[in-house]
Amino acid sequence: MSTTTTYAVTGLTCSCCAKSVTTELNKIDGVHDVQVDVVPDSASRVTLTSSSDIAADDVRGAIEAAGYALSDPATA
């Protein structure tokens, strides 16, 4: 069974930003897929598909390591 969770992430402006976030999130155990919908000048949507629930602190840490900020998640 897969779990899909969507997060709002601020600061993303281009495909390079999306790649940085994707690279960091893929380092989390259990993450199978990362989809990033970049929305310049607004919160972008980052959707994770994983084999189980991923701790919000792990997601926040990965996004901050990429240089961006996480808003509250919304289950997709």
Q: Is 18 exposed, middle or buried (0-12, 13-18, 19+ CB in 10 A)?
A: buried
Report the 10 Å Cβ neighbour count for 49: 16
Report the pLDDT value the prediction gives residue 75, as an integer from 0 to 100: 42
CATH number at residue 10: 3.30.70.100
Interatomic CA distance for residues 76 and 19, integer angstroms? 21
Tell me the three state secondary structure of residue 5: strand
pLDDT-based confidence at residue 73 (cuts at 50, 70, 90): low
Task: Please give the radius of gyration of the chain, using alpha carbons only, rounded to the nearest integer.
Answer: 11
Q: Give the domain extent around 28.
A: 3-75
Report the pLDDT value the prediction gives residue 24, as an integer from 0 to 100: 98
The pTM (predicted TM-score) of the whole model is 0.89
pLDDT in tens, 9-68: 999 999 999 999 999 999 999 999 999 999 988 999 999 999 999 999 999 999 999 999
Residue 72's identity, in one-letter code, is D
Q: Specify the number of domains making up the chain.
A: 1
